[in-house]
Structure 1
Amino acid sequence: MKKDHFFNKIFLVLSLLILIPAVWLFSNIPETQVSHEAGFLVEKNFWFFLRDNVPPWLGTLLSFLYDLGDKEISGPVVGISLGLFIWKKQWKSVLLMILGSGGALLLVDKVFKPIIGRPRPPYFMGEYGSVPDIAGASFPSGHATGNLVLYLILALLVTQNISRLRWLVFGAVVLFLSGIGLGSLYLGVHWPSDILGGYMLGFIWLTFCLFFVDLLAIFLNIDRNIDRSSPLNRSRK
């Protein structure tokens, strides 16, 4: 399908564009842990700007969006999605969800957070919502990484038969992910660069998964047993 090729190319081009900035960010994060570093001061001032200028009703909304991105919500979403894909025998979608969401979780919690070990910001708010358990390192944001991968996968798959609404669905997902990121900043559980790094990592990882799963399905000869309307399928003439 031409549109599927188009979206794959968009993901690839965007990933290549952010690859070098992402490598730079991940390499320089330890320097921002020192209070006199310019990067640290910018992030600190931005947090205080949010705290001083966000009205209470918006603070409540941001706190709610942050909660929607927690594992108590995203975990069941992954489980239900996998159940539907298995029921419909959409094996590529199953592979993509397992590799994408599972791999993102491992990359954040078992690779980058332990290696970088950035402390959480010391600013927390409770006036407009409860702050979930936030033990552990800060960079990159698991909320940003995991939810970006999960909901972009769902956006790709949900719009497979309603391509006319694809941009609307993707727009809604982008707004939702932006709300989760701003909620993390507003509550003070992450630095701005944690969110940015999480988005970068998630997008690059998702792009890798899209192409890897496509190649793996061909190698394992399972593409004949899946829904031909899947956006991961490509027409072969």
Structure 2
Amino acid sequence: MPLISILSMRQILSFFIKTIRQFLADKLNQYNTTLPYLITMIIALVVVVGGINLFIELTETLKTELLASYDTAITDHIISYRSPTLTSYFKFVTNVGDTYGYLIVLALFLIVSLFVTKRWKYVAQATLVLALATISNMMLKRFIDRARPGIEHLVSVETLSYPSGHAMSAMAFYGFLIFLVTKFKIQKVAKFILIIVLVILILSIGISRIYLGVHFPSDVAGGFIAGFIWVVFCKLIFDLIELFRRDSQT
């Protein structure tokens, strides 16, 4: 789903809710403030569950020789660039995409939210997105049960391989921050620079897992897809809550 579609989701939801409300009033002779939101949320849950099921079905391709050859070719190409400088950089960004990295970023985000934007709810939303991505990643890893690559690991790892937790969390958390940046009332140049930095960070975290030898490229791709699903779903739910609050106040 392109970025413009995500940004206009609130308008689409508003139209959808109005359509459901009009249908209930015309066909069922019933006007209910809450019911259209509940129906929309149920539909959203069905869509997300269906997307996750499709994601799991697609993981069957992990067993094909064609994907294995792509994984090997891409991995060999990336690790061929190993050097002390790149190793230091990718170890740094992989730490940014780990627990302590997120705690530091969340702490900084909290300070900015309290003293600049005055919107602490954005910190809560970003934390929720990260938590959902982390928990679901652990469940997916256990369900799919794919071993790590058999090449040299430049960092220590303990969990299973697919999907990449770093890639999934990076896409979910920093991807959601990209959406929040688009809402901030700052100069367009600063906004553009922030978005570019976050995009580079997401990609760097994903590539770092391949470079460091702890993930297949397909692990990273799967993590990015799953993380993006959570960004879209959480954005939808947050917009629903906001629309419901506005509707209930009128």
Q: AA paired with 1:32?
A: L
Distance 2:128 2:173 in 1: 11
Structure with higher Rg: it is 2
Distance 1:223 1:91 in 2: 22
- Are 1:189 and 2:218 matched, yes or no? no
Quickly say closer, same or farther: Cα 1:192–1:22, change in 2 above 3 A.
Answer: farther
How much is the aligned-residue C-alpha RMSD, in angstroms?
3.6
Quickly say closer, same or farther: Cα 1:222–1:192, change in 2 above 3 A.
Answer: farther
- 84-93 vs 58-67, which moves further: 84-93
After superposition, the C-alpha distances for 1:50-95 in whole angstroms (9 at most, x for unaligned) are 2224444323322322222221111232244346546766354244
**Alignment gaps of 5+ in structure 1:** 12-19, 225-235
TM-score normalised by length of structure 1 = 0.72
- Are 1:8 and 2:12 matched, yes or no? no
1:32 is aligned to 62
**Contact 2:7 2:179 (C-alpha < 8 Å) held by counterparts:** no
**Contact 1:62 1:179 (C-alpha < 8 Å) held by counterparts:** yes
Following superposition, the deviation at residue 43 of structure 1 comes to 0.5
- How do 1:149-164 residues align onto structure 2 when only pairs under 5 Å count? 149-159=172-182, 160-162=184-186, 164=188
1:135 is aligned to 158
2:152 is aligned to 124
**Contact 1:22 1:197 (C-alpha < 8 Å) held by counterparts:** no
Quickly say closer, same or farther: Cα 1:57–1:10, change in 2 above 3 A.
Answer: farther
- Are 1:212 and 2:241 matched, yes or no? no
Distance 2:152 2:122 in 1: 38
Q: Secondary structure at the match of 2:161?
A: coil
**Contact 1:91 1:222 (C-alpha < 8 Å) held by counterparts:** no
Following superposition, the deviation at residue 25 of structure 1 comes to 5.6
Quickly say closer, same or farther: Cα 1:171–1:84, change in 2 above 3 A.
Answer: closer
2:24 is aligned to none
1:105 is aligned to 134
1:59 is aligned to 87
Distance 1:215 1:57 in 2: 46
Quickly say closer, same or farther: Cα 1:21–1:158, change in 2 above 3 A.
Answer: closer
Quickly say closer, same or farther: Cα 1:24–1:7, change in 2 above 3 A.
Answer: closer
Following superposition, the deviation at residue 196 of structure 1 comes to 0.7
Q: Secondary structure at the match of 2:80?
A: helix
Percent identical among aligned pairs is: 26
Quickly say closer, same or farther: Cα 1:83–1:55, change in 2 above 3 A.
Answer: closer
1:174 is aligned to 199
Q: AA paired with 1:195?
A: V
- Are 1:70 and 2:98 matched, yes or no? yes
Distance 1:96 1:223 in 2: 21
User: When you count helix as a share of all residues, which structure comes out higher?
Assistant: 2
Distance 1:55 1:118 in 2: 28
